[in-house]
Structure 1
């Protein structure tokens, strides 16, 4: 069984300059970009001039945008939701300007000493409000599983998606992040979550130390995940987020050479599983 997925990547993992981001991605066979930042500025903080400049770069180079990689939800859940709704409005404006259908979000931190169960209802309320606003704009929020947020492990990701129960909230699956939470991604989470996966973020990690590595070189069960998504009809974006040089709370960096290493590793893995990348 074979299928075709659309390759994308976090351009700011290559270089702050979107011209360089696009050039490297296109050299690696990608015709889409995931926008997290450009010129050192996060996408939800772009002014009108920056947004216009980025749109021009993309149009001139015939580059599409797979998603707006926002930091929405990477704050304590006790913070006013109005702040995150305002950042969502900025992300929606960017998505509509750049013709992207997805906006990446997260499901909030908790204060030190607070049990994860204690923030559940507030998380669901906040995500419901965000999903309602995205739905009205005709966009889909994709929740990325990440350590220390509410939706870090498969059971809580499933809780988030099913409790909010909105077509405007789906899963951005990240194998490496699951590994860093002590999860075997495919073994522990695939059957539960695959019906809700709308977006694949590509990186791998070692279970022993959490170190991020190229696809197929860690314990993220990426081959099994790719095969499982293939068999269940996934035909969306696979977005490279290598984190091979630096990884931090608000993003990572690889540089052109390491990004190329990550892209070639994933292309090989995808080919072995009957997935064509375009």
Structure 2
């Protein structure tokens, strides 16, 4: 397994994030936003700037954390969804459809093995309050509507060589839990990988038991996002209720050798990010 860090968990300055990650031996970084822009809005100048930093520090990109399809379905409700971790990209589904090719090209240019995407926002889920105090136990229908499959089916074929389109389970989208993600991959998700998020699974009412990571799901996994919670709030990894030592032991035993990506939801809290990386490095390398 390889430890990775989402750069904007540290801040919008990619170089600052790389330097912090190098303090913990991290050689792979996930790109979600930088310099005040969502990765979906990067132009050549931004990619050239990023490529120069990657070359200077001899590090690589683990994943392009695109916002693709974290929007309502075409013809769905025209209602904004507020998300503090969603930087600066349109919620109009037409814009998402238009950016598939460009984001695939970005992943290829950065030699990123993973391009993350979502399964469209649920139509009737209320906006959630700002982080770090998201409510636990959200319950909502989780089946992806038939109308979405035509849009998703073309995604794997649009990927450049060496890049996998990875569906993430997200508690405000149609695929919320790990079983729902496994069902999608088995029924209609040919060509997709999985970006596993146990915290999102928990927020949708799922157990945090390590056995939630089933052999079939882990076999399709290309990324595993790590965060921790206690008393309805995000806390540094190791200070919450998630047994990350047991979880990572479980996926390792099942043969997982992909990325373990810190997504602490402690943006701006460098002390918390560093504490998370200290705890996570111990269990990833154990």
What is the Cα deviation at residue 254 of structure 1? Answer: 3.8
Counterpart in 2 of 1:237? 259
Structure in which a larger fraction of residues adopt helix:
1
TM-score, scaled to structure 2: 0.81
What is the Cα deviation at residue 17 of structure 1? Answer: 1.2
| Contact residue 175 and residue 204 of structure 1 kept, 8 A | no
Paired with 2:167 and 2:24, the residues of 1 have a C-alpha distance of: 26
Paired with 1:163 and 1:62, the residues of 2 have a C-alpha distance of: 40
What is the Cα deviation at residue 125 of structure 1? Answer: 2.8
Structure in which a larger fraction of residues adopt strand:
1
| Contact residue 178 and residue 198 of structure 2 kept, 8 A | no
Paired residues for 1:64-103 under 5 Å? 64-78=60-74, 82-103=94-115
Whether 1:111 and 2:115 are equivalent positions in the alignment is: no
What is the Cα deviation at residue 50 of structure 1? Answer: 0.9
| Contact residue 35 and residue 69 of structure 1 kept, 8 A | yes
Counterpart in 2 of 1:249? none
Whether 1:269 and 2:283 are equivalent positions in the alignment is: yes
Whether 1:131 and 2:145 are equivalent positions in the alignment is: no
Paired with 2:49 and 2:125, the residues of 1 have a C-alpha distance of: 44
Once the two structures are superposed, what CA deviation does each residue of 1:22-66 show, in whole Å capped at 9, x if it has no partner? 111111210111011111111110111111111111111111100
Whether 1:145 and 2:169 are equivalent positions in the alignment is: yes
| Contact residue 194 and residue 229 of structure 1 kept, 8 A | yes
| Contact residue 103 and residue 142 of structure 1 kept, 8 A | yes
Paired with 2:61 and 2:125, the residues of 1 have a C-alpha distance of: 39
TM-score, scaled to structure 1: 0.83
**Secondary structure of the equivalent of 1:12?**
helix
**Secondary structure of the equivalent of 1:226?**
helix
* Change over 3 Å in CA distance of 1:93–1:116 after alignment to 2: same
| Contact residue 193 and residue 222 of structure 2 kept, 8 A | yes
Paired with 2:8 and 2:113, the residues of 1 have a C-alpha distance of: 19
Counterpart in 2 of 1:178? 201
Name structure 2 gaps, 5 residues minimum: 76-91, 127-139
Count of residue pairs brought into register by the alignment: 256
**Secondary structure of the equivalent of 1:55?**
helix
What is the Cα deviation at residue 75 of structure 1? Answer: 0.2
**Secondary structure of the equivalent of 2:154?**
helix
Paired with 2:11 and 2:180, the residues of 1 have a C-alpha distance of: 34
* Change over 3 Å in CA distance of 1:119–1:52 after alignment to 2: same
Larger displacement relative to structure 2 (48-57 or 76-85) = 76-85
Once the two structures are superposed, what CA deviation does each residue of 1:121-146 show, in whole Å capped at 9, x if it has no partner? 12333221222322x65520111211
* Change over 3 Å in CA distance of 1:129–1:226 after alignment to 2: same
| Contact residue 215 and residue 269 of structure 1 kept, 8 A | no
